[in-house]
Amino acid sequence: MAQFQFVMRSGPTPGVTFPLDGDQLTIGRDSSNGVAINDAEVSRKHSRLSFQGGKYVIEDLGSTNGTFVNGQRLAGPVVLKAGDVVSLGEQIVLMYDAINMDPGATVAVSRKSARVEPPPVQQSAPVYANPAPGYAPPPTTGKKTNMTPIFIGVGVFFFICLCISFFWWVDATFRWCVFFPFLSGC
């Protein structure tokens, strides 16, 4: 018997796990959802999970900030696989996992509650141990430097050096009257 869960990698409560039980679950900001995430980026009813053929299928419910699986915005239902990364908007990142359980084991967690694990070490961008095949992380939005002022400054510096060198050469070779015949005394 396999049980599925979401583990929050980034968002308001990193490390929280959401056990997925039931044929229909909704994900959203409202507390009535099977997976309730209280964050402004999450719509009240953001996404729906349907259990079909032993697998969960996720679809966006017209959310404002979108639902993404492995970086691709959902345009229709998508079958989830263990290791898939589900993002709600830009800040909420959930890892979809399958957990193999002993059918005779006693489960101490209720079906609606979430178990808190220690939060992962904060990094500049989420890093996943086993990303799904074909998954490329979203591009980083590093600050780019505008090189135009640097090139202009270097060009002005060389121009000034060239002018100083020219006037020094004119003075050292006594050619003032050759280059500047309008000067008095030429």
The full 3-state SS of 88-124, as one line of letters, equals: ECCCEEEEEEEEECCCCCCCCCCCCCCEECCCCCCCC
| Predicted local confidence at residue 21, as pLDDT | 85
Residues 6+ apart with CB under 8 A from 80: 4, 49, 55, 56, 57, 58, 69, 86, 96
| Predicted local confidence at residue 146, as pLDDT | 83
| Predicted local confidence at residue 112, as pLDDT | 47
| Predicted local confidence at residue 116, as pLDDT | 55
Q: What is the mean pLDDT of each run of 10 residues along the chain (186 residues)?
A: 81 90 91 91 94 92 94 93 92 88 50 52 54 62 78 95 93 84 78
| Predicted local confidence at residue 145, as pLDDT | 76
Structure tokens at 32: 């009535």
Residues 6+ apart with CB under 8 A from 6: 17, 18, 20, 35, 86, 94, 95, 96, 97
Taking CA 137 as the corner, what is the angle to CA 131 and CA 143, rounded to the nearest 5 degrees? 150
| Predicted local confidence at residue 2, as pLDDT | 45
Measure Cα distances from 106 to 24, 100, 112 in Å: 24, 14, 16
| Predicted local confidence at residue 183, as pLDDT | 78
Helix (H, G, I), strand (E, B) or coil at 140: coil
| Predicted local confidence at residue 39, as pLDDT | 92
Give dist(CA 92, CA 99) in Å, integer: 22
